[in-house]
Amino acid sequence: MGRPMRQTEIEVAGTTLACREAGAGATVLFLHDAAGASWDPLLDALSIRYRVLAPEHPGFGRGKIPDWMLSVGDVAFCYLDLLHALDLRDVHLVGHGLGGWIAAEIAIRSSTRLASLALLAPAGVESLEAPFDDIFAWTAEEFARRQFHNPELARDWQRAQAELDIDVVLQNRTALARLAWNPRMHNPQLAYWLHRIDVPTLLVWGEEDRVVPFACHTPFKRAIPRAELVALPQSGHALPIERAREIAPRLEAFFQGAKGSKG
């Protein structure tokens, strides 16, 4: 078990972000995936040795999104404002899926406040060999099934989702569409700027990912100067839930190694 989690709010970029937070020490800023914010086992594990800060993206959950905030690029600037507002330095930025895409868009803009970047099956760059399937055409059942390698976990997760407030579920879907409807779940410009990422970068991918296919690691690996890949066999997309136990120590070792090694 990790440290007790508390919920806070942060005012930034004309909006209020709900935030989950636990632990103490160097900051891990965790950006959640398409289904919405939740306190996954990975965050719990990391909170033992780190201060984990997990904001909910603008427009998700019960949060508002300013009218003008239309793209993942806008959200990236919003989080850069957050780092500034809280005066966070040497941050370990971790993003999963949609959150990985946002994290990459943050890092290409400015890594001044970052110590490292960990991208867990990030969306954002599509591979020609493995185009994304249409996440918006999936039923709730298919959405759940595709997240996990283990079908039992998928069923548990879907049951838990069904317990959530329908308003929150619909709001999450709407917020996702606003940011990622077209082009679906990626930004064709992003690949051309990945070379700007100058902090140690860890790519973590499930080899059986059916949301953001494993082959999508190639453009990230190729373009980011100091990127290292951890390929997890027998793993799906929901890494922070399904592979928390393997990933947490890998991340901690990576954070340790990245300390003060900024290029």
Would you tell me which residues interact with another protein (CB under 8 A)? 67, 134, 136-139, 166-167, 170-171, 173-174, 176-178, 181-182
Which residue lies nearer to another protein by CB, 24 or 170? Answer: 170
Q: Residue 27 Cβ, how far from another protein at the closest point, in Å?
A: 32
Q: Residue 82 Cβ, how far from another protein at the closest point, in Å?
A: 23
Q: Residue 174 Cβ, how far from another protein at the closest point, in Å?
A: 4
Joined together, the tokens standing for residue 2 give 């990790």
Q: Residue 141 Cβ, how far from another protein at the closest point, in Å?
A: 11
Per-position DSSP letters for 114-166, written without gaps between them: EEEEEEES--BS-BTTBPPP-GGG--HHHHHHHH-SSHHHHHHHHHHHHHS-H
Q: Give CA–CA dist 25/189, Å, rounded.
A: 35
Which residue lies nearer to another protein by CB, 134 or 152? Answer: 134
Q: Residue 184 Cβ, how far from another protein at the closest point, in Å?
A: 9
DSSP code, position 237:
S
Which residue lies nearer to another protein by CB, 129 or 182? Answer: 182
Phi/psi of residue 233, nearest 5 degrees: -70, 155
Contact residues for 159 (Cβ-Cβ < 8 A; gap 6+): none
Q: Give CA–CA dist 49/249, Å, rounded.
A: 11
Which residue lies nearer to another protein by CB, 48 or 164? Answer: 164
Which residue lies nearer to another protein by CB, 129 or 134? Answer: 134
Q: Residue 146 Cβ, how far from another protein at the closest point, in Å?
A: 14
C-alpha dihedral (208, 115, 18, 15), degrees to nearest 10: -120
Q: Give CA–CA dist 140/186, Å, rounded.
A: 22
Give the DSSP H/E element, type plus range, for residue 169.
helix 166-180
Which residue lies nearer to another protein by CB, 132 or 138? Answer: 138
